[in-house]
Structure 1
Amino acid sequence: MILKGFKEKSNKKHLNKLLLEREVSVTDTKVESLGLILNIDEIDDFDLFRTLADYINVRPNKLKIIAFSSKKKDNLNTWDECYSPKDFGWKGRIKNIELQSFLNTKFDTLISYYTKDDLELKFLTVKSKAKFKIGILQTDARLNDLIIKTSLKEFDVFKAEVYKYLTILNKIKE
């Protein structure tokens, strides 16, 4: 129990260090690849995000979705890759090879679609090597380059706003 508290404190300290070192560089490169981070405890309809990718002209083979659950779910029929706090070590070290591979992928855009204030979800967003990060309203504004203030249930509004802002930033390919 004490070690768990020390681990969490260590991870929070490492997260703050990463956020302070984060450099934001917004370019006008077109969105060709899209990564999505979801909290499966909050939303589990993955088809919504496939339609979003199609809407912003991202090919299905350039879309990668990962799901996180604060408690490991064994009955996931529709989703293969669901990660839990057990996949994280001290100082934010990632123990899972597939998860580390996702984080090392240089996506053109990363969407963090979660509202829960989980340390592990924040780590996934911060450690991703994506060029441009979009999220919904969260407690720490340093995580994303663009924050769209909607609730999880207003996906159509989120989808329209993502399209609008990516068009304004000249990131949608025709």
Structure 2
Amino acid sequence: MNKFLSYLSTFIFCMIIWVGLTIPFGTGMASGVIIQELIVGAVVAAVMAIFCHRFFIKKSPFWLINPSRILSFIVFIFIFFVELLKSNIDVAIRALSPKVKVKPGIVKIKTPVESDYGLAMLANCITLTPGTITMEIEKGKNENYMYIHWIDVQERDRGKTSEIIKGSFEPWVRRIFK
């Protein structure tokens, strides 16, 4: 793999994230402020790329720039926000109800996701939705498991538990990181 292409792809990725997080679109900011943001963003992205490109890029430098992956990621964002809203409502109802109905516990779920990035994304999605926290990822030769603290253990069967917790996240994570 070409070291320069690895650096360049990491720089582009960091710059896109910087622009997405710092440039307010449609607010009528002065062009001087936007140019300053872009210059600072380029410096930060360059420094990040210098230190992180060898950790971020493992195979192909532009593996993420694939139309099907980008489209899958865009769809995934909407699915994630729907699941986030549903779990927020569920936890709010539990917190506001006079009788707290929770049965907390730690469950072990199985996932076919293989890539490190996919496992990290799935674990973070599970943790970011209220009511669940990913505690550990156990990588095996053919199978990967996650230990999840769940606010209300509804099922003891690992297969059913896995489907409830992973919900609609896992198929999309597999599409993005196949």
Which of the five TM-score ranges fits, normalised by the shorter chain? under 0.3
Query: Greater Rg, structure 1 or structure 2?
Result: 2
Q: Flag the structure with higher helix content.
A: 2
